[in-house]
Every structure is written in C-alpha cells, then in structure tokens.
Amino acid sequence: MTAPGAIVLLSGGLDSVTVLAIAQSEGYAPLALSFDYGQRHVVELRCAAWQAESIGAEMLTLKIDERLFRGTALVDRNIAVPLDRAIDDQIPVTYVPARNTLFLAHALALAESRGIGHIFLGINALDYSGYPDCRPEFLEAFATLARLATRDGVEGRAIKLHAPLIKLNKAQIIQCGLRLGVRYEYSSSCYQPGLDGRPCGRCDSCQLRRRGFAEAGVDDPLSAVPPSQT
C-alpha cells in the first residue's frame, strides 16, 4: 500500500525537523517545502536540505521576494536582532509579516495541485516569541480558508492541517524528536548565526532552544552547518 503524501513545511529549525520525523513516523511520505525569503539566517536551508535528504524525502525550495517584508529584523540587516531579552508575549521585531500565512498558502496550492491531502507544520503556542501566526486560532482560521477557497474543500476533500507540536513545550518537542532519532546537530534555530553557522546563543530562539534542552535533561548536540549528503 502506497503511503499517503504530506507536505511538510521545513525551515531547518528544531521544530520543523521534529515535525518532518513525526510525519514520516505516522506513515506519510513527506514532501519537504522550504522558503528562501531573504532571511539573515539562511543557513537553516542547508539544514533543511540535509534533513530531507537524510530520509529520502523530496524537497522543494521556493523563493519569496524579500521586498515583501519590511520592519523585520530577520530580513532587514539594518534592524538589530534583540539579544538577551526577557521573552514575553509581546510581538517582537523578529516577527515576519504574514510569514506563516504565505507559507501555508503555497503549501495549500502545492498540495491541491499534486493531490496531497495533508500539510504538516511546526507552529507552537507555548515556547515561542509571541508571533500571532503560531496560535491555535490562526490554524483554525486557515483550515476554514482551506475548506472554502479550494476545489478540494468545496468538493468535500478538505486538505487537513497537522500541527503536532502546538501544545508542546520545547523540552517535550526535543524528547519527542530524540525518540524518533532526529539529528538535532543538523538543525539551526539562531536568528543571526555566524558565518560558520554557529548560533549566537543570545537571541530569543537560542534562549528557547537552550532552555528546552536543559529542561529535557540532554545536551544540545548542535555543531556547525551540516555536511553535504552528496
């Protein structure tokens, strides 16, 4: 029996590589979908490619014009990434306008055009930096849009959205990934890694990752950028 297909939004970060492993473990054949949108932490795409290739998954990387995104430190190098801040529920300057909406819209088009009925994404409503597009309300609203705005949805074949991490904290996510054999050394969470791919250790994402591994009771195996699989 052929495994059902699933689009997996794969940034190359800790959450998304865990979701890739979850999708495969649940019997899906993942198609990894990544995006180059001019992000300063573009090293994450090398991690995404390594993770997809390591399980034999097809990968598609799409380019989104970075001119869409103003006022975000993840794209505009003239805006400083906040360091060592006390993370709260305020929307930080690292928020990228409508990023998950755009990513899911592309995933929805790809899924419908290829006859794939499932989309996996790694949004998380607990250990995150206050982004509005990581909340359950966002996921529910987009699921409604997917039912209303696609032929599949109108004809009763609504594409299902899966967010298996949405109610987990970082420690729980890491523990889940380790059980599934995720190679976290080949993931990138930092918002402003060095030229060698090593994390700054001070941005919100680095703080959340460090706390997650500490609470999970394991060392973070993060090294530099992943080697080529070829």
pLDDT at 230: 42
Residues 6+ apart with CB under 8 A from 128: 134, 208
How far the first Cα of the chain sits from its last, in Å, is 30
pLDDT at 227: 54
Give DSSP secondary structure letters for 57-115: -EEEEEE--GGG--S-TTT-TTSPPP-S----SSPPTT--TTHHHHHHHHHHHHHHHHT
pLDDT at 110: 98
Sign of the dihedral through C-alpha 122, 97, 210, 45 = positive
User: Residue 155 and residue 123: Cα distance in Å, rounded?
Assistant: 28
Q: How far is C-alpha 22 from the geometric centre of its chain's CA atoms? A: 13
CB 61 within 8 A of CB 10: no
| Per-residue tens of pLDDT for the chain, all 230 residues | 788 999 999 999 999 999 999 999 999 999 999 999 999 999 999 999 999 999 999 999 999 999 999 999 999 999 999 999 988 878 999 999 999 999 999 999 999 999 999 999 999 988 766 799 999 999 999 999 999 999 999 999 999 999 999 999 999 999 999 999 999 999 999 999 988 888 999 999 999 999 999 999 999 998 545 555 44
